[in-house]
Amino acid sequence: MEAAEREGYSFKEACEELGTTPRDLWRLLKEYGDLIGYQDSEPEASPRFLSPQSVQRARSILGYLAQGKTREQIEERSRFDELRQGAETPPPGVYEMLLQKVEELQAELSKSEEKRLEDRDKTLTTLARTQQELQRVKGEVATASSRRERKHKSLWQRLFGG
């Protein structure tokens, strides 16, 4: 009988599906059973079955472990994975966590925008002052240049009489 037909995987089928050994799957279930959706409340002698969702969660956790993620990171990623897959009831606190993160980002964006506007105003003020100073210096250069030309002509005329 197929795993999908009976709504679950035997322990052996789950190991084959995940490409792991029974010992590694047991270790994974003991350490991450709460995230996988597996409770070890059955007597040892009874057959164990994992739902297709549990096998999928176990696959995700194995991938995160292969990437070197910590338990906290795996818990956070698992919450988001459940939301992304359209879980009917999101884990407790996810909406509050997302709302808090959005509010933090909005506050950060607002501060950044204020800083940008302040910097823009300072830059515009500096630009206006620089343009005024440039005009003043151009005027001084023009005045000095015309004085020099007048002095130069007078001296020239004095030397050569003309």
**Angstrom distance (rounded) from CA 42 to CA 23:** 18
**Furthest-apart CA pair in the chain: how many Å?**
128
Q: For residue 111, what pLDDT is reported? A: 95
How many alpha carbons fall within 13 Å on the CB side of residue 60? 23
User: Amino acid letter at 15?
Assistant: C
Highest mean pLDDT: which range of 6-10, 117-121, 142-146, 149-153: 117-121
The pLDDT of residue 10 is above 90: no
Domain boundaries, given as residue ranges, for the chain: 9-91, 94-162
* Structure confidence at residue 43 (pLDDT): 43
pLDDT mean over 72-76:
84
Q: Which fold has domain 9-91?
A: Multidrug-efflux Transporter Regulator; Chain: A; Domain 2 (1.10.1660)
In sequence order, which ranges of 67-93 are alpha helices (DSSP H)?
71-84
